Structure 1
């Protein structure tokens, strides 16, 4: 009789504690790692708002450089990174952590990186990265390529481009994304020549008239797709969020519109505008 009573008491205690454990797990924030670049920021703000409103799970946005974002998702139990540029740009990072994370699929397709110049730079003089070796072109540019942050995947492949095309006299300038677009805008105001490490989608293509330089050696890669990666533990601790992110997908037109909105307002305002304007998209993501 005593054994039966103890067994029943144990079952009752376990049953009473289970909801508390689930609640505690749900109350623990999901971390979304975010790099400084606009498309990642605005998509992460959208994901945060949807997860918090639809699933009542708190989300923390953590802005870091790209390397720590990949490592963070690999080591955390409850985290996401929504802008893994593949197969080329972030290939080295993915190679390091690929077996420690879950790839949840494409957020959008048709992305691209490359070196860009203002459209007023004559194409018959500078059409290709290979043209940068010409002494008169190097003088025009001050032997500078305006880059972005040091840890960016594009900077890694840009260094390879310098070597591949024999541009030993050029300097790849490290700066923030904002500093790069500031330098671009300043050069355009003065009608000066400039080469920047560029990517699309980005609001600069809406604001400025630009073109990519041809890359005959294919060092910078072709079209990219942007994937979401998740920590291995997310599927167990927050399966509804894991499944939602698998269903998340944007068109390039939607991304471009959000980037322009974000530049004119803020990432948070652009995210809210997208959510309010696309209830059918959100319903498809959440399965509702």
Structure 2
């Protein structure tokens, strides 16, 4: 019930943001212009900036629109956005996808074998499973540091709190960067912290972390990340659909892209640098 309430709230927020942003469907399709919905997850920031550069090299005018997942789904469904690059299937994004599946085109997977759940630094020896959090709530100040309110991962974490009897914990809504900031701070001070996290993510390369085992499988098994478009993109921009459906990245490639961006500290500059070092790979997607 709580999760459904979160999704309804997110949907209302999506409509409000779309209205306040002044988004409206273009009067006519222009194959030279593309709008990509960008949600603030590390891998999404990385690949969105990468594709902005690659498509601009082909002569497209590309705009990245920052928004939450619910807003992006609504925007693609309404053709206010052309593309969303991150759809986790079959579990994580199912509530969003089920709502809009008749109005969006789910395209091919570009990354396979994701993970998500609750994560602690590896030095936290006392806790290896989610059920063990209950007896160690004080160690974590009775807080789980989350990401964007209304995101699928936060909804699953609400489910995990119910399933494992973690009512003593407060799920603190934040953002992707806010969560990683809290994680970094705790690790610098060698303190316990539990966060909502997922892979692919650069944090697993930078820090020694561990997922807490999820015996009830609340967070599901490994998934694939797809991209989505509005229904007419294939007719309006067939080459774009062809290029994006040829796109495929493994852990090393995606991790490398995120690591460069994190090191450079600028998504556009980092993506440009990575593209320059991986020209053969990106050209293979766009033949």
Q: Answer whether contact 1:78 1:231 (CA < 8 A) is retained.
A: yes
Residue matched to 2:12:
none
Give the C-alpha shift of residue 178 in structure 1: 1.4
Secondary structure of 2:101's match?
helix
Residue matched to 1:82:
85
Residue matched to 1:130:
131
Q: Answer whether contact 1:45 1:267 (CA < 8 A) is retained.
A: yes
| Distance in 1 (alpha carbons) for counterparts of 2:157 and 2:179 | 15
Residue matched to 1:106:
109
Give the C-alpha shift of residue 283 in structure 1: 2.4
Secondary structure of 1:262's match?
helix
After superposition, give the CA deviation of every residue in 1:123-150 in whole Å (9 maximum; x if it has no partner): xx3110011121xx11111111111110
For the pair 1:26 / 2:31, whether they are aligned, the reply is: yes
Secondary structure of 2:216's match?
coil
After superposition, give the CA deviation of every residue in 1:223-277 in whole Å (9 maximum; x if it has no partner): 1111000111111111111111111111111110111111111211222123222
TM-score normalised by the chain length of structure 2: 0.87
Give the C-alpha shift of residue 280 in structure 1: 2.4
For the pair 1:37 / 2:41, whether they are aligned, the reply is: yes
Q: What is the number of residues matched between the two proteins?
A: 259
Gaps of 5+ in 2: 1-27
Residue matched to 1:46:
50
After superposition, give the CA deviation of every residue in 1:63-116 in whole Å (9 maximum; x if it has no partner): 100101111111107600011111111110011111211111111111111101
How much is the aligned-residue C-alpha RMSD, in angstroms?
1.5
Q: Answer whether contact 2:75 2:81 (CA < 8 A) is retained.
A: no
Closer/same/farther in 2, CA of residues 166 and 48 from structure 1, 3 Å limit: same
Residue matched to 1:13:
none
Give the C-alpha shift of residue 216 in structure 1: 0.2
Q: Answer whether contact 1:110 1:252 (CA < 8 A) is retained.
A: no
Q: Answer whether contact 2:201 2:258 (CA < 8 A) is retained.
A: yes
Secondary structure of 1:60's match?
strand
| Distance in 2 (alpha carbons) for counterparts of 1:47 and 1:203 | 19
After superposition, give the CA deviation of every residue in 1:156-196 in whole Å (9 maximum; x if it has no partner): 10000000111111110011211111111111122211110
| Distance in 2 (alpha carbons) for counterparts of 1:187 and 1:35 | 25
Give the C-alpha shift of residue 24 in structure 1: 7.5
- Between Structure 1 and Structure 2, the one with more helix by share is 1
Secondary structure of 1:99's match?
coil
Residue matched to 1:172:
171
Q: Answer whether contact 1:77 1:234 (CA < 8 A) is retained.
A: no
Closer/same/farther in 2, CA of residues 165 and 24 from structure 1, 3 Å limit: closer
Residue matched to 1:11:
none
Residue matched to 1:67:
70
Closer/same/farther in 2, CA of residues 174 and 77 from structure 1, 3 Å limit: closer
Q: Is the radius of gyration larger for structure 1 or structure 2?
A: 1
Give the C-alpha shift of residue 281 in structure 1: 2.0
